[in-house]
Chains A and B, each alone.
Chain A
Amino acid sequence: MSRTIGLERLLYWFGLIAIGWAVLTFLLAPMAAALHAALFRHGGLAILDAIAELARSRRVRAALWNTAWLTAVTTATVTIVGMFQVAVLEYFRVKGRGFLKIAYSTPLVFGGVVAAAGYNFTYGPGGAITAALTALFPSIPRDWFIGWFGVLFAHTFLMTSFHFLFLRAAMRRVDYSTIEAARGMGASEMMILSRVVLPVIMPTVLAVTLLTLNMAVGSFAAPQVLGGRDFHMLSQMVLTLNSLRRPDMAALLALLMGVVLMGLLLLSQYFEGKGAYTSGAKATTRIQLRPIRNPLMRSVVHALAYLMAAIYLVPVALIVLFSFAPASSIGMEILPSTLTLANYALVLGGGTAFVAFFNSIFMSAGAVVVGLAVTLFAVPIMVRKRNWLTRALDASFFLPWIIPTILLAVGLIAAFDAPNPLVGNAVLLGSYWLLPIGYVILSLPLMVRFIRSAFIGIDPVFEEAARAMGASGPYRFRRVVLPLVAPTAILVAGMKFNNLMAEYPLSAFLYNVNNRPLPIAIVDGAVSADADQAAISLIYVTLIMAFSLAIILIAERLSLGRTPETSNL
Chain B
Amino acid sequence: MIVFLLKRLANAALVMVAVALLAFLIFRFLGDPVELMLNEQASQAQRDALRIRLGLDRGVVWQFLTFLGNAVQGDFGISYRNQQDVFQLIGERMPATLELVLVATVLSLVIGMPLGVYTAIRRNAPVAQALQFVSVVGVSLPSFAVGILLILAFSVTLGWLPGFGRGQVVQLGWWSTGFLTPSGRSALVLPSITLSLFQITLVMRLVRAEMLEVLRTDFIRFARARGLRDRTVHFRHALQNCLMPVITITGLQIGNLIAFALVTETVFQWPGMGFLFIQAVTHVDIPVMAAYLLVVSFIFVSLNTVVDLLYAVVDPRLRSDVVRGGAGGG
Decide whether A and B are members of one complex: no
Q: Using CB atoms and an 8 Å cutoff, list the residues of chain A in contact with chain B.
A: none
**Which residues of chain B have a CB within 8 Å of any CB of chain A?**
none
